[in-house]
Amino acid sequence: MNSDTSPEPGARGPAPERSDAPEGPRGWTSVVVESPIGPLFLAATAAGLVRVAFHADARTAARERAALAARLGGPEDPATGAHAVEAAGEALERYFAGDGELAGPPLDWSLVTGFQREVLRVLAAEVPFGAVVGYGELARRVGQPGAAQAVGLAMGANPLPLFVACHRVVERDGGIGGFGGGVETKRQLLALEGVLPEPLF
């Protein structure tokens, strides 16, 4: 990889629906699911999947739940969002089994705003399974060609990794770039999508 974009992308699945949830306290629920890259924390509101977090051991899951209670204005309600977290878990199983694009429940974008939300929406809409994009190219696509660093910050603030695939954003010179789930996790995901060779160990 020595450019900001990949070759012609491969097979593309249906894009997840997107939801902008209303303001005010909202119910939500969460689960932790196992995956080939470790336990994943999934949370959803009635509007859709709202949070995904990597390396979800007991401490991480507790921290995520406390943060969501503060951000969404109330405690967890297992009856709210249960269908969305179930659909997300099933979609992840298919994705890690090699079925292609990760298509799951609607997405609740309410944990991210402004430029960061705009960047993440463009990423979700325009960079499919099997493709990568450079930070600078993604900045150009949102009409801010000098904002590569801000794009990097948006990737770090992504509340919905995997479903909004920030692992597909790489450095212009071919470097893999950073990743909130860790560089080795990013490498595994890009290998799964056929962008990199499978890790040797």
Q: Could you list the active site residues? A: 166
Query: Buried (b) or exposed (e) across 161-188, using 16+ Cβ within 10 A?
Result: bbbbbbbbbbbeeeebbebbbeeebbbb
CB 196 within 8 A of CB 189: no
The 8-class DSSP code of residue 168 comes to: G
Q: Contact at 8 Å (CB) between 48 and 105?
A: yes
* CA–CA separation, 52 and 29 (whole Å): 12
- Paired with 49 in beta bridges are 44, 107
